[in-house]
Amino acid sequence: MDIAYKVFLVLHFIGLTGLLGGLLSQISAKPKKLAPFVLHSAWLMIIAGIAMVGINQAMHANDSTVVLVNQVTVSIKSLVIGAILTIGYSNIKKSELSTKAWGLMSGLAVLNIVLAVFGI
């Protein structure tokens, strides 16, 4: 199960790279455009994250020496990625991504990283 966890962790990082990289590539673009792979990357993060939480819970359910995943952090991270997807899908068909929407999506992506590193 440890190998499966690490495979999903790599997939989660690939999703993060696609999400944040796709957004940051639009910093100087005029007009900003939301690439579909940004939303695909967000979905990859969700799927890999859910798999990692499930694997972690299964691996350490009977081991009292290991602290299980903080469910509050997982919930907040899920809400953040859900907000990114909501903003993204409401702007994907538009010819131009507003600077506010781009900034909010980028900020939420960074918030997701901060929550992953520091938790709550």
| Predicted TM-score of the model (pTM) | 0.89
Structural domain including 61 reads: 2-118
> Into how many domains does the chain fold?
1
Structure tokens at 16: 């993060």
pLDDT digits over 11-69, tens only?
999 999 999 999 999 999 899 999 999 999 999 999 999 999 999 888 877 777 777 77
Cis amide linkage into residue 31, ω under 30° from 0: yes
